[in-house]
Amino acid sequence: MILKTLLDVIDLLESNNPLELLKRKIPKDIEYEEKKIGEVTYVKAYYKGGGKQRIEILGRLGAIQMKENKGLVSDADGAIVSLTALLELVNLMQKGIEFDIDISIITNISLNAKLISHKPFNFMVPLIDFNDALKEEVDPKADLILSIDSTKGNIIAKYDDFALTHVIKDGYILKLDDNVIEIYNRITGHEIYFIPLTTGDLTPIDFKVYHISTLVSPWLYTNSPVIGIATVSKQVIPGYVTGVLNINMLEHASRFCLEMIKYVEKGGKVYNEEELKELEEKLGKSNLIKVKRT
């Protein structure tokens, strides 16, 4: 049951040695790597399903904790959801359920972060250069990236469950496929909640324009489509506060990631490729291509 896995992940991340506890849960069938860059620790797990497609579940965050606080911070959601998906894959493997698709799961489980200026609350980002962080986070072999990020410090996306973005591809925002919307509706039991993106959200964080979060920043480092999975809240919540984990939302988001794996394995599409072709034929390549970092 994915809820039990989620609670196990939260318990693991709240321990004084999350890396050691996580490593014990990873079987030899899954390639597992820990990479430390300065004070930032990335974990990378690769499930080799032998499929022609590869999906990345990316947990984006500054850190799971902040030194001046005790416990998991709001910003930890990306790590919680991505690692829940990872350990649920392990559970399914142990039950003899395997996938004919390659899956990479990457996240940061550092214990401290830095804050950068943003309104209404400062962003938490890793204690390394932001571009270096994204280079580590984005799997260059992934055909689709699900980017999970806590997006609670804003005044425009105030929901009581997780929200999605439309698809970001080559500088265009493309409508999310109806089948993906149906997966969302089925899991949550309610209408889809979307994150309202602006052009500024697709620019690098060093552009002096409004960014709702760094949720879709991975598109700058890949040619593959990116879907943002945002954990949100009715209240405006800074990423560095504790005591605000929404278990129901985190369970829904984790289950969505697993269902997307099944959907892509069956050949499901996340956007209409003909629409992108039409836009590029009529309008040309997006000017946002100029700011890509690949």
**What residues does each domain of the chain span?**
2-291
* Span 75-103, pLDDT tens digits: 999 999 999 999 999 999 999 999 999 99
Q: Give pLDDT, residue 238.
A: 84
CA of residue 180 relative to chain centroid, distance: 16
Q: Give pLDDT, residue 264.
A: 97
Burial zone of 39 (CB within 10 Å; 0-12 exposed, 13-18 middle, 19+ buried): middle
Please report which confidence band the pLDDT of residue 71 belongs to, taking 50, 70 and 90 as the band edges. confident
- The pTM for the full model equals 0.96
Q: What is the mean pLDDT of the chain?
A: 94
Q: Give pLDDT, residue 67.
A: 76
The whole-number average pLDDT for the span 4-16 is: 95
Please report which confidence band the pLDDT of residue 118 belongs to, taking 50, 70 and 90 as the band edges. confident
Q: pLDDT at residue 121 above 80?
A: no
Which is more confidently placed, 50 or 56?
56
Q: pLDDT at residue 1 above 90?
A: no
Write the class of the CATH domain 2-291: alpha beta
Which is more confidently placed, 105 or 130?
105
